[in-house]
Structure 1
Amino acid sequence: MSTGQDQLKELLQQNRQWVKRVSPDLLASLEKGQSPKCLWIGCSDSRVSPTTITNQPLGSLFEHRNIANVISSTDGNAMAVVEFSISLLGVPDIVVCGHTECTGVATAMIHEEGQEDPSKDHLHQWLVPTRKVYQENAKALEALDPRQRVLELGRLNVAASVSAIAATPAAKAAWANGQPLRIHGWRFNMAQGLLEDLNMTHDGSC
């Protein structure tokens, strides 16, 4: 039976195998700096690795991941990532990518005030923006069957994050200065392995 220590050793060993396969030219270019094609904001879920599902090499995506791909103006970490990617890296595209079977979204939906589990205080606090989206759309969501309800809340949650990024000073400044910037909402279908454009792109034109 493998132990936790064995699994960690395997990660180190796999890294050495990877180095043997990767192009030395790629590593040399990465050492000089980065010029990612987009900022990817996704869920921390281990099944949704951005560079894997988009078949991209190192350096292609500037990534920010958290539980349920939540972007809120009160989250200094996320705001710093958005500002860095727009103002310093000049990325032309930002993708907020949710996914099917998202436990974070489901947790936000079933949690009720007054029923907090002390062992999950930070998780419940983190999901407040998603829970707010649920409350604002409760009537329509509760008319759906449970699986479709989680799926639709996930879509609305992506839309809320897209709107939050579009409202940031960094995005507004980019558009005011004529800097190309498009903010997209996508979803990864776990069963199919496919990405879906949810058609909620902001480009500063309205």
Structure 2
Amino acid sequence: MSSTAPTTDSNLAVQVEALEIKATTTTATPRNHYHYQHHLLRKYSSGEDEVEEVEDDNEEPRSLRRSPVTHGPSPAVDHSHGLARLLKNNLLWSKAIRERQPDFFDRGSKGQQPEVFWIGCSDSRVPENEVLQLAPGEVFTHRNIANVVISTDLNCLSVLQYAVDVLKVKHVIVCGHYGCGGVAAALSDQSFGLIDHWLANIKDVKRQHDSNIDSIQDQEERCRALVEINCRNSVLTVAKSPIMKAAWARGQVIDVVGMVYDIQTGFLSELGYHVSNEKDLKTHLSVHSDALFAARKNTQL
């Protein structure tokens, strides 16, 4: 990263300490249903114990900030609207950032220089910036149901190409997560409508490892195994892409790593699928399903 980019430590301070907002509701009267009491954590740069409090707006509801670019015919969002809390949180968030790092947004507006490209699941419980403790501008992201990467998905591949060829990221993280609803649905014989077409990709992965996955008696553990194998498949699909092969051929230092997030503990773990070049890729492709699951059993002992 260039010398003008914000440092990870200072960004972490902003992300973790300056921006955590706690909201409590009071329902004394209908007008106060969206009456929130916000608190910003103590300033990151001081060792003080006091908490800075942002007073609530006790006035009658009024319109919140509106973009001057286009003024559509819809009425402005006021304080009685369900999104009012989110817009107020945004104002507090922006204010907190600017108070602690006045030039933060100015620097960010000049471009992004992330070192990490994250391919993850759309699940709202796996927010990559918070999981990795990185600030805005430090992780480039693509998310879909069950972090599936297939060679015909132009959306995902376009993002991958931009990350590799333009942003020059150093790491591509493919992250699955235990308790994934998409993977659980793929294990089922039930039809879920349109998403069945997407889940067919995970079912294809399962068929490659049917005997080993079906031998697991516990349904939850079977799902965890498919989460891991599905992530492995996406790692290998990324690594086999012409985008990655071209990057390695020109000497670009970049790796593809498979990880899994445990929503019950908050822990992120590497799965042992780490591809840094064509030689690594051939090694991973040569590993038989039985060997993968034997290693998995040994890890659990």
What TM-score bracket applies, with the shorter chain setting the length?
Answer: over 0.9
What is the DSSP-based 3-state SS (H/G/I as helix, E as strand, rest coil) of the residue aligned with 2:272?
A: coil
Q: Which runs of structure 2 are paired with 1:56-67 in the superposition (5 Å)?
A: 56-67=134-145
Q: Which runs of structure 2 are paired with 1:151-162 in the superposition (5 Å)?
A: 151-162=224-235
Distance (Å, rounded) in 2 between the aligned partners of 1:176 and 1:104: 35
Provide the alpha-carbon RMSD of the alignment.
Answer: 1.5
Other-structure match for 2:262? 189
Other-structure match for 2:191? 116
Count of matched residue positions in the alignment of Structure 1 and Structure 2: 199
**2:99 is aligned with 1:21:** no
Partner residue of 1:129 out of 201, 208, 219: 201
Partner residue of 2:246 out of 150, 153, 173: 173
**2:128 is aligned with 1:55:** no
Residue type matched to 1:64 in 2?
H
Residue type matched to 1:16 in 2?
L
Tell me the alpha carbon deviations over residues 122-171 of structure 1, each in whole angstroms, 9 at most, x when there is no partner.
x1111221110111111111111101100000000000000000011110
Partner residue of 1:43 out of 97, 118, 121: 121
Deviation at 1:6, TM superposition (A): 3.5
TM-score (norm. length: structure 2): 0.64
Tell me the alpha carbon deviations over residues 48-100 of structure 1, each in whole angstroms, 9 at most, x when there is no partner.
00001111100000000010000011111001011110011111110000111
Distance (Å, rounded) in 2 between the aligned partners of 1:205 and 1:168: 11
Question: Which structure 1 residue ranges, 5 or more long, are not aligned?
Answer: none
Distance (Å, rounded) in 2 between the aligned partners of 1:134 and 1:7: 41
Distance (Å, rounded) in 2 between the aligned partners of 1:186 and 1:73: 20
**2:222 is aligned with 1:149:** yes
Tell me the alpha carbon deviations over residues 9-38 of structure 1, each in whole angstroms, 9 at most, x when there is no partner.
211111111001113322111100000011
What is the DSSP-based 3-state SS (H/G/I as helix, E as strand, rest coil) of the residue aligned with 1:185?
A: strand
Q: As a proportion of its length, which structure holds more helix?
A: 1
Other-structure match for 1:138? 210
Tell me the alpha carbon deviations over residues 163-205 of structure 1, each in whole angstroms, 9 at most, x when there is no partner.
0000111100000000011000001111111100111110015
What is the DSSP-based 3-state SS (H/G/I as helix, E as strand, rest coil) of the residue aligned with 1:170?
A: helix
Deviation at 1:116, TM superposition (A): 3.2
Distance (Å, rounded) in 1 between the aligned partners of 2:212 and 2:265: 26
Distance (Å, rounded) in 2 between the aligned partners of 1:7 and 1:48: 24
Other-structure match for 2:49? none
Residue type matched to 1:17 in 2?
L
Relative contact order (alpha carbons < 8 A, sep ≥ 6): 1 or 2 greater?
Answer: 1
Q: CA contact under 8 A between 2:238 and 2:244: conserved in structure 1?
A: yes
Partner residue of 1:82 out of 146, 157, 160: 160
**2:276 is aligned with 1:203:** yes
Distance (Å, rounded) in 1 between the aligned partners of 2:82 and 2:225: 37
Distance (Å, rounded) in 2 between the aligned partners of 1:116 and 1:104: 12
What is the DSSP-based 3-state SS (H/G/I as helix, E as strand, rest coil) of the residue aligned with 1:201?
A: strand
Question: Which structure 2 residue ranges, 5 or more long, are not aligned?
Answer: 1-26, 28-32, 35-79, 280-301
* Higher Rg of the two aligned structures: 2
What is the DSSP-based 3-state SS (H/G/I as helix, E as strand, rest coil) of the residue aligned with 1:84?
A: helix
Partner residue of 1:9 out of 67, 84, 95: 84
